[in-house]
Amino acid sequence: MNTVPVHLFDAARLGDRVAIVKLLDIAQPDIRRYARSSCRTSADAEDAAQEALWLLSRRVGTIRSLAAFSGWLFTVVRRECMRLARTMRLQPPQSLAEIDLERSFGVRPHAELKLDIAAAIEALPPHYREVMLLRDLREMTIDELAESLGETRQSIKAKLHRARLLMREYLSR
């Protein structure tokens, strides 16, 4: 974990909003890295990282010491990854069309796949394209996207979901 100054941690524990934001900024890269190594899918890793950051912002005052901080945070991420993995097991299996689509991408030459993805992104309506590029290429969080685009978290998540559906539909043709 990146080193967190004691005074910053103490100020965040006491509810200083600026300190909490700085603490989140410091912790975010490590949380994301740990989530990517702990979760099964990149979507789960992102969800786990977001949940950990949200919990940190809400419960930083309950963490007793700076020494316990990273252990607490990584435990939150690990538990969230396990929870997401359990919910995946409860979901119905993929359709045969989705399995065939995944197989077809696995055997395509890398350069051809890159061109197809670029064409699919270009075919997206501008408002979906913007959200998708900011999220997946610039790795902005949902909250960062909502703030920069002046929209709610829910609308950003809906646009991102719709953009990914449109990408899948375009690529399956």
DSSP state at residue 83: H
Q: What is the CATH number of the domain that holds 62?
A: 1.10.1740.10
As a whole number of angstroms, the distance between CA 51 and CA 3 comes to 21
As a whole number of angstroms, the distance between CA 44 and CA 42 comes to 5
54 and 101 housed in the same domain: no
Residue 123: CB partners within 8 Å, gap ≥ 6?
166, 170
Which of the listed residues 90, 111, 138 is the one where a domain comes to its end? Answer: 90
pLDDT of residue 83: 87
pLDDT tens, position by position, for the chain (173 residues)?
668 889 999 999 999 999 999 999 999 999 999 998 888 888 888 889 999 999 999 899 999 888 888 889 989 999 998 888 887 665 555 555 554 555 555 555 667 777 888 888 888 899 999 998 898 888 888 899 999 999 999 999 999 999 988 888 887 76
Residue 152: exposure state from Cβ atoms within 10 A (0-12, 13-18, ≥19)? exposed
Q: Is the CA virtual torsion 137, 53, 146, 161 positive or negative?
A: positive
pLDDT of residue 9: 92
Chain center to CA of 89:
20
111 and 72 housed in the same domain: no
As a whole number of angstroms, the distance between CA 44 and CA 138 comes to 18
Q: What is the CATH number of the domain that holds 152?
A: 1.10.10.10
Give the domain range for residue 84. Answer: 6-90
